[in-house]
Amino acid sequence: MSGTAHPASASMSVEVPVIDHATDPVHAAEPPADPAALAAGWLPGPDADRMLMTLSTVSPEGVPHARTVMLSDFDGVRFSFHTDASSRKVADLAVNPRVALTILWPGFTRQLVVEGLATRASDTAAARAYARRSPYLRQLAWMNTDEVAGRPLAQREEGWARFAAEHPDPEPPAGWVGFTVAPERWLFWVSHPGAPSRRIEYTRSGAGWSARPLPG
Ligand SMILES: Cc1cc2nc3c(=O)[nH]c(=O)nc-3n(C[C@H](O)[C@H](O)[C@H](O)COP(=O)(O)O)c2cc1C
Protein backbone atom coordinates (compact mmCIF):
# COMPACT_ATOMS: atom_id res chain seq x y z
CA MET A 1 0.00 0.00 0.00
CA SER A 2 2.88 2.44 0.58
CA GLY A 3 2.97 5.26 -1.99
CA THR A 4 -0.62 4.68 -3.13
CA ALA A 5 -3.81 6.51 -2.20
CA HIS A 6 -5.73 5.00 0.71
CA PRO A 7 -8.84 3.17 -0.53
CA ALA A 8 -11.02 5.22 1.82
CA SER A 9 -9.65 8.56 0.64
CA ALA A 10 -11.86 8.79 -2.45
CA SER A 11 -14.89 9.31 -0.22
CA MET A 12 -13.15 12.04 1.75
CA SER A 13 -12.10 14.47 -0.99
CA VAL A 14 -13.99 17.71 -0.54
CA GLU A 15 -12.99 20.61 -2.76
CA VAL A 16 -11.88 24.05 -1.59
CA PRO A 17 -15.08 26.14 -1.59
CA VAL A 18 -15.21 29.22 -3.79
CA ILE A 19 -16.45 32.02 -1.54
CA ASP A 20 -17.75 35.35 -2.79
CA HIS A 21 -17.11 37.44 0.31
CA ALA A 22 -19.16 40.36 -1.02
CA THR A 23 -22.34 38.30 -0.99
CA ASP A 24 -21.60 35.55 1.54
CA PRO A 25 -24.31 35.61 4.25
CA VAL A 26 -21.67 35.31 6.96
CA HIS A 27 -20.53 38.88 6.21
CA ALA A 28 -24.03 40.38 6.10
CA ALA A 29 -24.73 43.15 8.63
CA GLU A 30 -27.56 40.99 10.00
CA PRO A 31 -26.43 37.36 10.33
CA PRO A 32 -28.90 34.80 8.92
CA ALA A 33 -31.53 33.86 11.51
CA ASP A 34 -31.26 30.09 11.03
CA PRO A 35 -27.87 28.45 11.67
CA ALA A 36 -29.12 25.10 10.35
CA ALA A 37 -29.84 26.68 6.95
CA LEU A 38 -26.41 28.32 6.98
CA ALA A 39 -24.76 24.97 7.76
CA ALA A 40 -26.75 23.28 4.99
CA GLY A 41 -25.37 25.88 2.57
CA TRP A 42 -21.82 25.08 3.66
CA LEU A 43 -21.95 21.29 3.80
CA PRO A 44 -21.85 19.06 0.71
CA GLY A 45 -25.19 17.55 -0.32
CA PRO A 46 -26.25 13.99 0.56
CA ASP A 47 -24.77 12.48 -2.60
CA ALA A 48 -21.41 14.24 -2.34
CA ASP A 49 -18.27 13.07 -0.57
CA ARG A 50 -18.48 13.00 3.21
CA MET A 51 -16.54 15.48 5.31
CA LEU A 52 -14.34 14.68 8.26
CA MET A 53 -14.71 16.23 11.68
CA THR A 54 -13.03 16.21 15.04
CA LEU A 55 -15.36 14.66 17.60
CA SER A 56 -14.56 15.77 21.15
CA THR A 57 -15.99 13.95 24.15
CA VAL A 58 -15.30 14.12 27.87
CA SER A 59 -14.37 11.07 29.92
CA PRO A 60 -16.06 10.24 33.25
CA GLU A 61 -12.91 11.67 34.91
CA GLY A 62 -13.30 14.96 32.98
CA VAL A 63 -10.44 14.27 30.55
CA PRO A 64 -11.08 15.59 26.99
CA HIS A 65 -10.80 13.02 24.20
CA ALA A 66 -10.70 14.07 20.54
CA ARG A 67 -10.50 12.07 17.33
CA THR A 68 -11.38 12.28 13.64
CA VAL A 69 -14.62 10.71 12.43
CA MET A 70 -16.60 10.92 9.24
CA LEU A 71 -19.65 13.18 9.20
CA SER A 72 -22.13 10.55 8.04
CA ASP A 73 -24.95 13.02 7.48
CA PHE A 74 -26.44 16.41 8.27
CA ASP A 75 -30.20 16.07 7.85
CA GLY A 76 -30.88 19.79 8.21
CA VAL A 77 -31.26 19.52 11.98
CA ARG A 78 -28.80 16.99 13.39
CA PHE A 79 -25.29 15.78 12.62
CA SER A 80 -24.59 12.06 12.66
CA PHE A 81 -21.51 9.86 12.96
CA HIS A 82 -20.95 6.11 13.19
CA THR A 83 -18.56 4.04 15.18
CA ASP A 84 -17.91 0.89 17.22
CA ALA A 85 -20.01 0.37 20.35
CA SER A 86 -16.96 -0.83 22.30
CA SER A 87 -14.91 2.31 21.55
CA ARG A 88 -13.76 4.84 24.13
CA LYS A 89 -15.93 7.57 22.62
CA VAL A 90 -19.06 5.47 23.20
CA ALA A 91 -18.01 4.84 26.81
CA ASP A 92 -17.58 8.60 27.24
CA LEU A 93 -21.00 9.29 25.71
CA ALA A 94 -22.70 6.79 28.02
CA VAL A 95 -21.70 8.98 30.97
CA ASN A 96 -21.70 12.41 29.35
CA PRO A 97 -23.54 12.94 26.03
CA ARG A 98 -22.05 16.43 25.54
CA VAL A 99 -19.84 16.68 22.45
CA ALA A 100 -18.15 19.24 20.23
CA LEU A 101 -17.83 18.66 16.49
CA THR A 102 -15.19 20.63 14.56
CA ILE A 103 -15.33 20.62 10.78
CA LEU A 104 -12.53 22.32 8.82
CA TRP A 105 -12.89 23.04 5.10
CA PRO A 106 -9.93 22.60 2.73
CA GLY A 107 -7.81 25.69 2.22
CA PHE A 108 -8.68 26.84 5.78
CA THR A 109 -11.62 28.71 4.27
CA ARG A 110 -14.29 27.76 6.76
CA GLN A 111 -14.63 26.09 10.13
CA LEU A 112 -17.84 25.02 11.79
CA VAL A 113 -17.91 24.09 15.47
CA VAL A 114 -21.08 22.58 16.87
CA GLU A 115 -21.65 21.82 20.53
CA GLY A 116 -24.58 19.69 21.55
CA LEU A 117 -25.98 16.46 22.89
CA ALA A 118 -25.39 13.09 21.23
CA THR A 119 -28.10 10.44 21.25
CA ARG A 120 -28.12 6.92 19.79
CA ALA A 121 -29.49 6.65 16.26
CA SER A 122 -31.92 3.89 15.31
CA ASP A 123 -30.54 0.58 14.01
CA THR A 124 -32.26 1.26 10.69
CA ALA A 125 -30.49 4.59 10.28
CA ALA A 126 -27.18 2.98 11.27
CA ALA A 127 -27.67 0.22 8.68
CA ARG A 128 -28.39 2.85 6.01
CA ALA A 129 -25.17 4.68 6.88
CA TYR A 130 -23.24 1.40 6.76
CA ALA A 131 -24.55 0.67 3.26
CA ARG A 132 -23.29 4.09 2.12
CA ARG A 133 -19.72 3.40 3.26
CA SER A 134 -17.06 2.25 0.81
CA PRO A 135 -16.24 -1.48 0.67
CA TYR A 136 -12.99 -0.71 2.51
CA LEU A 137 -14.81 1.05 5.37
CA ARG A 138 -17.51 -1.64 5.60
CA GLN A 139 -14.82 -4.24 6.09
CA LEU A 140 -12.88 -2.00 8.48
CA ALA A 141 -15.93 -1.86 10.76
CA TRP A 142 -15.55 -5.64 11.17
CA MET A 143 -11.78 -5.77 11.57
CA ASN A 144 -11.08 -2.76 13.82
CA THR A 145 -10.76 -4.85 16.98
CA ASP A 146 -8.21 -5.00 19.80
CA GLU A 147 -7.50 -8.59 18.83
CA VAL A 148 -6.67 -7.78 15.20
CA ALA A 149 -4.71 -4.65 16.21
CA GLY A 150 -2.38 -6.79 18.32
CA ARG A 151 -1.39 -9.11 15.45
CA PRO A 152 1.76 -8.64 13.30
CA LEU A 153 1.26 -6.87 9.95
CA ALA A 154 1.58 -10.01 7.82
CA GLN A 155 -1.25 -11.65 9.78
CA ARG A 156 -3.40 -8.54 9.52
CA GLU A 157 -2.87 -8.42 5.74
CA GLU A 158 -3.64 -12.11 5.41
CA GLY A 159 -6.76 -11.78 7.60
CA TRP A 160 -7.90 -8.77 5.58
CA ALA A 161 -7.60 -10.62 2.27
CA ARG A 162 -9.37 -13.69 3.69
CA PHE A 163 -12.26 -11.63 5.08
CA ALA A 164 -12.68 -9.81 1.74
CA ALA A 165 -12.80 -13.12 -0.14
CA GLU A 166 -15.29 -14.70 2.28
CA HIS A 167 -17.53 -11.63 2.79
CA PRO A 168 -17.84 -9.66 -0.46
CA ASP A 169 -20.91 -7.78 0.80
CA PRO A 170 -20.91 -7.80 4.64
CA GLU A 171 -23.82 -6.78 6.85
CA PRO A 172 -23.06 -4.27 9.64
CA PRO A 173 -21.23 -5.90 12.57
CA ALA A 174 -23.14 -6.18 15.88
CA GLY A 175 -21.18 -3.29 17.37
CA TRP A 176 -21.90 -0.82 14.55
CA VAL A 177 -23.69 2.17 16.12
CA GLY A 178 -24.72 5.66 15.10
CA PHE A 179 -25.20 8.87 17.07
CA THR A 180 -26.96 12.07 16.16
CA VAL A 181 -25.95 15.41 17.62
CA ALA A 182 -28.56 18.11 18.25
CA PRO A 183 -26.75 21.49 18.22
CA GLU A 184 -27.03 23.86 21.20
CA ARG A 185 -24.29 26.25 20.12
CA TRP A 186 -22.88 26.89 16.65
CA LEU A 187 -19.73 28.76 15.64
CA PHE A 188 -19.27 29.60 11.97
CA TRP A 189 -15.72 30.77 11.21
CA VAL A 190 -14.68 32.30 7.90
CA SER A 191 -11.29 33.35 6.66
CA HIS A 192 -10.82 36.28 4.29
CA PRO A 193 -7.59 37.08 2.45
CA GLY A 194 -8.18 40.83 2.80
CA ALA A 195 -9.89 41.18 6.20
CA PRO A 196 -9.70 39.61 9.65
CA SER A 197 -11.26 36.20 10.03
CA ARG A 198 -14.44 36.25 12.05
CA ARG A 199 -17.06 34.02 13.58
CA ILE A 200 -20.76 34.09 14.11
CA GLU A 201 -21.90 32.44 17.29
CA TYR A 202 -25.46 31.12 17.62
CA THR A 203 -26.94 30.25 20.99
CA ARG A 204 -30.46 29.27 21.94
CA SER A 205 -32.97 32.07 22.40
CA GLY A 206 -36.49 30.84 23.10
CA ALA A 207 -37.61 28.71 20.17
CA GLY A 208 -35.00 30.28 17.87
CA TRP A 209 -31.37 31.37 17.94
CA SER A 210 -29.55 34.55 18.83
CA ALA A 211 -26.52 35.43 16.73
CA ARG A 212 -23.52 37.66 17.41
CA PRO A 213 -20.22 38.22 15.61
CA LEU A 214 -17.01 37.25 17.39
CA PRO A 215 -13.35 37.80 16.50
CA GLY A 216 -11.66 34.82 14.84
C1 LIG B 1 -9.70 10.09 8.26
C2 LIG B 1 -10.24 9.31 9.43
C3 LIG B 1 -11.59 8.96 9.46
C4 LIG B 1 -12.10 8.24 10.53
N5 LIG B 1 -13.44 7.96 10.57
C6 LIG B 1 -13.94 7.30 11.65
C7 LIG B 1 -15.35 7.09 11.77
O8 LIG B 1 -16.18 7.53 10.94
N9 LIG B 1 -15.78 6.40 12.86
C10 LIG B 1 -14.91 5.93 13.80
O11 LIG B 1 -15.36 5.31 14.77
N12 LIG B 1 -13.58 6.14 13.73
C13 LIG B 1 -13.08 6.81 12.67
N14 LIG B 1 -11.73 7.05 12.60
C15 LIG B 1 -10.86 6.52 13.66
C16 LIG B 1 -10.94 7.47 14.89
O17 LIG B 1 -10.19 8.65 14.64
C18 LIG B 1 -10.44 6.81 16.18
O19 LIG B 1 -9.09 6.45 16.06
C20 LIG B 1 -11.26 5.58 16.56
O21 LIG B 1 -12.64 5.77 16.31
C22 LIG B 1 -11.07 5.24 18.05
O23 LIG B 1 -11.44 6.36 18.81
P24 LIG B 1 -11.76 6.28 20.40
O25 LIG B 1 -10.83 5.24 20.97
O26 LIG B 1 -11.43 7.66 20.91
O27 LIG B 1 -13.19 5.92 20.56
C28 LIG B 1 -11.22 7.81 11.56
C29 LIG B 1 -9.88 8.18 11.53
C30 LIG B 1 -9.41 8.93 10.49
C31 LIG B 1 -7.94 9.34 10.51
Q: What is the pLDDT along the chain (216 residues), one digit of tens a residue?
A: 445 677 776 556 788 888 888 888 888 889 999 999 999 999 998 788 889 999 999 999 999 999 999 999 999 999 999 999 999 999 999 999 999 999 999 998 999 999 999 999 999 999 999 999 999 999 999 999 999 999 999 999 999 999 999 999 999 999 999 999 999 999 999 999 899 999 999 999 999 999 999 998
Find residue 104's DSSP bridge partners.
111
Separate counts of helices (H) and strands (E) for the chain: 6, 9
List the residue whose alpha carbon is closest to atom 19 of ligand 1.
Answer: 67
Mutation pick for ligand 1 pocket among 67, 102, 179 (CB with most ligand atoms within 8 Å):
67
Task: Identify the pLDDT of residue 22.
Answer: 86
DSSP string, 137-173: HHHHHHH-SHHHHTS-HHHHHHHHHHHHHH-SSPPPP
d(CA 121, CA 83) in angstroms, rounded, equals 11
d(CA 194, CA 201) in angstroms, rounded, equals 22
Q: Which residues line the pocket of ligand 1, CB cutoff 6 A?
A: 52, 65, 67-70, 81-84, 87-89
Task: Identify the pLDDT of residue 215.
Answer: 92
List the residue whose alpha carbon is closest to atom 12 of ligand 1.
Answer: 69
- Helices 135-143 and 153-166 cross at an angle (nearest 10°) of 120
Find residue 55's DSSP bridge partners.
67, 101
Burial (0-12, 13-18, 19+ Cβ within 10 Å), 22? exposed
Q: Where do the domains of the chain lie?
A: 11-132+175-215
List the residue whose alpha carbon is closest to atom 25 of ligand 1.
Answer: 88
d(CA 3, CA 74) in angstroms, rounded, equals 33
List the residue whose alpha carbon is closest to atom 13 of ligand 1.
Answer: 69
Question: For 11-132+175-215, which CATH superfamily applies?
Answer: Electron Transport, Fmn-binding Protein; Chain A (2.30.110.10)
Find residue 120's DSSP bridge partners.
179
d(CA 89, CA 84) in angstroms, rounded, equals 9
Task: Identify the pLDDT of residue 2.
Answer: 45
Task: Identify the pLDDT of residue 181.
Answer: 98
Task: Identify the pLDDT of residue 12.
Answer: 63
What spacing in Å lies between the alpha carbon of 103 and ligand 1's midpoint? 14
Task: Identify the pLDDT of residue 155.
Answer: 98
